[in-house]
Amino acid sequence: MAETSKSIFEKGIWAENPVYRQVLGICSALAVTNMLTNTLLMCAGVIFTTAMSNLTVSILRNYIPTRIRMMVQVLIIASFVMMVDIMIRATAPDIHRFIGPYVGLIITNCIIMGRAEAFASQNRPWPSLLDGLATGLGYSFVLIAIALVREPLGFGTILGYSLPAKDLWWQSWTIMIMPPGAFFTLGLLTWWARAKTDPSVKE
């Protein structure tokens, strides 16, 4: 039976979240989450790429030759990533200097390739578009949660704005803006989320 829109979103964002359930897309989850602004832009890029590549692969699924389907999927994904990269470079050049290398790496992001192959190549366009959006939102949910911990603890700011009277009560934790800070936060978040979503943990 075809999946409903609600179940697609529930799976993508919660039950089968790509980051904490499938442990995919970890590189960017660790790299771009020390500033919330960078994270939001990266998430927008991933949501756009996942949704559009899923939609395109689904529309073309009956025409793509089976033996070159992976090559075609990579071409489609790479094209959307290049568009995202150019747009970020044009509209937010300073952020692009920080996250630019990771935007390029979206091409090889297992989440996007996985959804194109596992879902979009076997389903109709509308559910595929929803699946892409849901997966992108699931990825974004985790990254934003990590950034909301790292930026205040590491810089004492949120979206670049200082916490109230920061100098009076706050000493920045430099480790939180370094890679170990991302590992700790992601590990704790994964632990909590899996305890909430994995039935075997409850037993």
Partner 1 sequence: MKKDSLPYVLGFMLAISAFFGTGVSLVHHSTKDMLARNEQMHRNRTIAHAFDLPVAGRDADAFAAAVEEHVRESRLPTDQRNWTVFERTTEAVETSETDRGDIGFIFQGQGVWDLIRGVIVLSPDLETVRNLRFLEHGETPGLGGRIEEDWFLEQFQGVRIAWDRPRDSRLIIGTALDPDAANRVDAITGATGTSQALMEMLNRDLHNFRQAFQDNQHTLETES
Contact residues for partner 1, defined by CB under 8 A: 31, 60, 63-68, 71-72, 75-76, 79, 82-83, 86-87, 89-91, 93, 98, 101-102, 179
CB of residue 106 to partner 1, shortest distance in Å: 14
* 3-state class (DSSP) for residue 196: helix
CB of 186 to partner 1, least distance (A): 16
- Pairing mode, strands 161-162 and 157-158: antiparallel
* C-alpha R_g of the chain: 18
Query: Nearer to partner 1 by C-beta: 79 or 197?
Result: 79
Least distance to partner 1, CB of residue 70, Å? 13
Helix (H) or strand (E) holding 85: helix 69-91
CB-wise, 17 or 53, nearer to partner 1?
Answer: 53
Nearer to partner 1, 90 or 168 (CB): 90
Comparison of 69 and 166: residue with beta carbon closer to partner 1: 69
CA distance 10 to 44: 19
> Which residues partner with 13 through β-bridges?
none
CB of 31 to partner 1, least distance (A): 7
C-alpha atoms less than 13 angstroms from C-alpha of 132 in its C-beta half-sphere: 28
Q: Which of 143, 169, 45, 48 lies closest to 96 in space, CA to CA?
A: 45
> In terms of CB distance, is 21 or 150 closer to partner 1?
150
Report, in Å, the least distance between residue 73 CB and partner 1: 11
Cβ atoms 157, 151 nearer than 8 A = yes
